[in-house]
Structure 1
Amino acid sequence: MRAATGVWRWRRNPLCRATDLIEAWVALTTLVLLLCAVPAAGWISATRTDASLQTAVRAQHELRHPTTARVVRLADAPAPDARHPEAAEEARLRRAVVARWTAPDGTVRTETVSTRWDLSDPGDTFRLWTDPGGRPVAAPMEKETARAHAVIVGLFTAALAAVFLEAARRVVVRRLVHRRYARLDRAWARAGPDWGRTGAGS
C-alpha cells in the first residue's frame, strides 16, 4: 500500500503545489482510516455476526435433541437427506441404513437415515439429532464454529474496507495528477512559443 508516500509532500519546498498538499492530506487521511476505521469495521461486523449466529446456535440446541439410533439393516434406497445436491459429496462417505430410535415424546421411530460406513452394520449404534417430533435433522451448529464464521466475516469486511479506501485514494490522486498535467500543458502553451529565444520574456 502506497497511501503514506504522499506525506513527503509536506516538506518545505518552494515548488510545492496545492495539488501536492491535497495529495499529502489524502494520503494521511487514508493511512489514519486504514489504522483505525478498517479494524473497527471488521470488529463491529464480526461482533454483530457472532451475536446473530450465537442466537441461532442457542435456538438450534433448544429445538434439536440428540438420541441414540440403532441400525436395523441396510437401506434399499438412499436416505432423504442424501438426495439434496449439497449433500452429494458427503453422501460418498456415508451409508443409508434403516435405523430405530426413540423420539423426544417417547415414541419409537424407524426410518432411513445415513450414517458413517463404520457404523452401518446391523446392531451398530450412532448419535442422531432429531426435531421435537422425532424426525432426523442436521446437528446444530457449535459455538466455536459460529465464532469462526464471525471472524471470517470480520476479516472479509476489514479487507473490503481497506480495498475501498485504497481505491478511493487512487481515484483522487489520479484526478489530481490529471489536473496537474492540465495546468502544465496550459503553462507550456503560454511559454512554448518563446522557448529558447534570447531575451524572451524580458
Structure 2
Amino acid sequence: MARTHGTKVRRVRLWRWRRNPLRRRSDLIEAWVLLATLVLALSAAAFAGLAAAAAVDGALAERRDRIRAVPAVLTRDAAHAPPAPASGNEDDSVWAPVRWTAPDGTGRTGRAEVEPGNKAGTAVTVWTDPEGRLVSPPPGGAEARFQIVMAGVTIGGAAAGSVLLGGRLVRSRLQRRRLEEWEAEWRLVEPSWRKRMTG
C-alpha cells in the first residue's frame, strides 16, 4: 500500500497488519495466509528434503551392503575393446570380456569396464550381486554425496513449490472476493455519488 504526499509516493510496509480505515477483513486474512504459506513452505522444504536425502543415503548404503567386489581376469586384450558408454567416469574405460567366480563356486563370464591398455590375463576387480551377476559399482565419495544432496534439494524444492502454489491460489481467490465486494459496495454508493457530482 502507498501513501501520497503531494507528488511523492511512500510505500507503507506491513500495512495489512496495521489498523487503518482502508484495511478490510480480507486484507488481514491474506496477510495471515501469506505468513502461513511462507512458514509451511520452509518447513515442508526442510522436512521433505531431509527425508529424501535420508532415503537416498539408505538406498545407497543398502546397495553397498548387497553387492561386493570380486577378483576377475581379462580373457582378451582390452586395447581394441569398444569404449564404455557415458558412465560418469572421467577415465577412458572400455568394455572387455572378464571371467570371475560366483559365490556358488561356478565360473562366470561377462563384460566389464576396464582400462583400455590391459592385456589378457590381467587381474581386475568387478562388482557382483548376491547371485554372482555383474553389476555397476556403487557410487561412493563425492558422487554419492552429490546424489544425496540433489535428491534433498529437488524434493525439498518441489515440496516448497507446492505449498507456495497453494498459497498463491488461496490469495488469488481472496483477491477475487475482495474485488466482488468492492463492486457490490460501488453499486450501492454510485447513485448517491453521481447525484452529488451532477447536483
TM-score with structure 2 length normalisation? 0.71
How far 1:183 sits from its partner (Å)? 1.0
Q: Residue 159 in 1 paired to residue 157 in 2?
A: yes
Deviation at 1:199, TM superposition (A): 8.9
State which of 56, 64, 80 in structure 1 corresponds to 2:63.
Answer: 56
- Unaligned 5+ runs, structure 1: none
CA–CA distance in structure 2, aligned partners of residues 163 and 183 of structure 1: 30
Shift of 1:52: 3.5
Number of residue equivalences: 183
- Cα pair distance change 1:122/1:190, threshold 3 Å: same
Alignment-derived partner of residue 182 in structure 1: 180
SS in 1 for 2:195: coil
Structure 1 stretch displaced more, 173-182 or 130-139: 130-139
Match of 1:66 among 53, 64, 70: 70
- Give the one of 161, 168, 171 matched to 1:170: 168
Query: Are the aligned partners of 2:17 and 2:31 in contact in 1 as well (CA < 8 Å)?
Result: yes
Q: Which amino acid aligns with 2:56?
A: T
Render the CA deviation track for 1:179-201: whole Å, top value 9, x for unaligned.
1111111111122223242499x
Letter of the 2:176 partner, please give it: H
Which moves more between the two structures, 156-165 or 33-42? 33-42
Structure 1: distance between partners of 2:59 and 2:115: 35
Report deviation, 1:123.
4.5
Q: Is the 8 A contact 2:102 2:131 kept in 1?
A: yes
Q: Per-residue deviation at 1:16?
A: 1.1
| 2:102 and 2:132 in contact (8 A); partners too | yes
TM-score by length of 1: 0.70
Structure having the higher helix fraction is: 1
**CA, structure 1 residues 74+35, in 2 after alignment: closer, same or farther (shift >3 Å)?**
closer
Aligned to 1:22: 29
Structure 1 residues 174 and 99, CA gap change in structure 2 (3 angstroms) = closer
Query: Where does residue 46 of structure 2 map in the other structure?
Result: 39
Q: 1:171 Cα shift?
A: 0.7
**Quick check: 151-160 or 13-22, which moved more?**
151-160
Per-residue CA distance 1:21-79 (angstroms, 9 max, x = gap): 1001101111222333421232223223322332232122xxx332142344469997x
Letter aligned with residue 139 of structure 1:
P
1:15: Cα distance to partner?
Answer: 1.6
Deviation at 1:101, TM superposition (A): 4.3
State the alpha-carbon separation in 1 of the partners of residues 134 and 152 from structure 2. 33
Residue 177 of structure 1 deviates from its aligned partner by: 0.9
Q: Is the 8 A contact 1:71 1:125 kept in 2?
A: no
